[in-house]
Amino acid sequence: MSTVITGGTGLVGKYLQKYLNGVYLSSKDFNLTKESEVIRMFEIHQPKIIIHLAARVGGILENINKPIEYFEDNVLMNTYLLKYSKEYKVEKFIGVLSSCAYPDVSDHYPLLEGDLHNGIPNENNYGYGYSKRLMGVQIDIFKKLGYNYSYIIPNNLYGEFETGDMSKKHFIGALLEKIKNANVNNENEITLFGDGTPLRQFTFADDIARIIKLMLDNNINENLNVGIEENLSINEIANLALKATNSEHLRIAYDKSKPNGQYRKDISTEKLQKLFPDFKFTSYLKGIKKTYKTITNE
């Protein structure tokens, strides 16, 4: 069956290419925010399976400064892809949400899949978070009508294939760029936003690709949280990155005039572990080392 992967040249898509044969599309191939372009994609490729990785993503300042663009672009992409998946009789659809879609504050942690609608997303990711949550709603409607459609909710991601300037990178990608630049320029410190106290889970993107392949191979049709279990502070992760990159000589300074972002949003992977009990996620040290080698061309 024809398999189409949107966002196929992005962070997760590049890893998925190792495990899954299919048509890997980028924004250079089709503008998925335009209905005519989505129709053209379906006409050309006639997919029976869609892995929807494409999204407008960026760092905290990008999300704060452009909330309308993040909401509109993602809602348009998700809506058109699902609308025409139905019309072109796509047999399996896996969409990728984000832990940013979860409520800003919860009375319990880690967050379960059923907590998705128990409050509004964090204000710094409000547009993006709601756009991802709405895709979950759309997919659940199809699921209730008997379609083999589902979604995964990863926590924060990093990896070797992240591109773009630092303002558009996930935290670890931007952090490693700062470490590289400090080392190249013989500086003695790096500066990070906030105060280092927020808690985060960061998953090596290759692990998400491997989970998607397992879901396809086993025809899993459940909505799943996907990601590493460790929930560490930004300061702990930054110090791990210094260790992994042999950069412990660098001092970490915090710019408290900049936003911290959401304090915590850790997700439960209990459901995932029951489905794939032998799956092992990549450790922080191993994943960060591999990513840094790519950034520094070592």
Omega cis (within 30) before 277: no
Dihedrals φ, ψ of 182, to 5°? Answer: -65, -40
User: 3-state class of 145 per DSSP?
Assistant: coil
Tokens of 159: 């990896």
Dihedrals φ, ψ of 194, to 5°? Answer: 80, -150
| DSSP string of 55-94, one letter each residue | -----HHHHHH-HHHHHHHHHHHHHHHHHHHHHTT-SEEE
**Cα–Cα separations (whole angstroms), residue 251 to 189, 224, 246, 248:** 4, 38, 13, 8
Q: How many CB atoms lie within 10 A of CB 290?
A: 16
Report which secondary-structure segment, H or E, holds 273: helix 270-275
149 belongs to the catalytic site: no
- 70: nearest Cα among 16, 9, 137, 122: 122
The one catalytic residue among 128, 147, 149, 292: 128
Active site residues: 128
